[in-house]
Amino acid sequence: MHIEELTLPGTFLITPDQIPDERGTFYESLRSDALESATGAAFRPQQINYSVSRRHTLRGIHSVLIPPGQAKVVTCVRGALRDIVVDLRIGSPTFGEHHVNELTADSGRSVYVPEGVGHGFLALSDDSCICYVVSTTYVPGTQIDVNPLDPDLDLPWNCPDTPLISDKDAKAPTVAEAVRAGLLPRFSKAGTP
């Protein structure tokens, strides 16, 4: 697999080496040893989640308070997604900036999202399914939600119709409001909160 750092420090795109034959395709989607070597951070999966969405569903921007913190590897396992990560780490040289990836089931590509970086996606096809392999289990009351339509973020969702968005996400604070509320983590020189 190829693991390359994206524009946000500590965030990586994982592209598997696919082995096709007449039966189909085989590839390794995640190797903790390779990911840890590339990122310099330990990654031990503790929980796996799936989210299924219809076309033009917008989910995010989500992160987790530190502690407990939560790194994740996100993969589209069915359909297609416009996946966006947003640097929510106060003091980061890329605070408030984002990176966009198109994730499809056919590509097998994944994005590694470190602690303190927000994540969201737009489903580009009906019945799209995303898999989250996460480093910590769910702890009620620790989720950070930032409004995915925050005009200051100006994220390029490029949705041709009005996106389907949950009330929770639509009512989530902007980044500026989250900063004022003291919800966002600080960036360290090592690139992690």
Q: Which long-range contacts (CB under 8 A, 24 or more apart) does 1-4 make?
A: 1/27, 1/28, 1/31, 1/34, 3/34, 3/35, 3/38, 3/39, 3/112
| Percent helix, strand and coil across the chain, each to the nearest 5 | 10, 40, 50
Query: Alpha helix locations (H) across the chain?
Result: 32-39, 167-170, 175-180
Q: Which amino acids are annotated catalytic?
A: 62, 132
Contacts of 96 (CB under 8 A, 6+ apart): 86, 87, 152, 153, 175
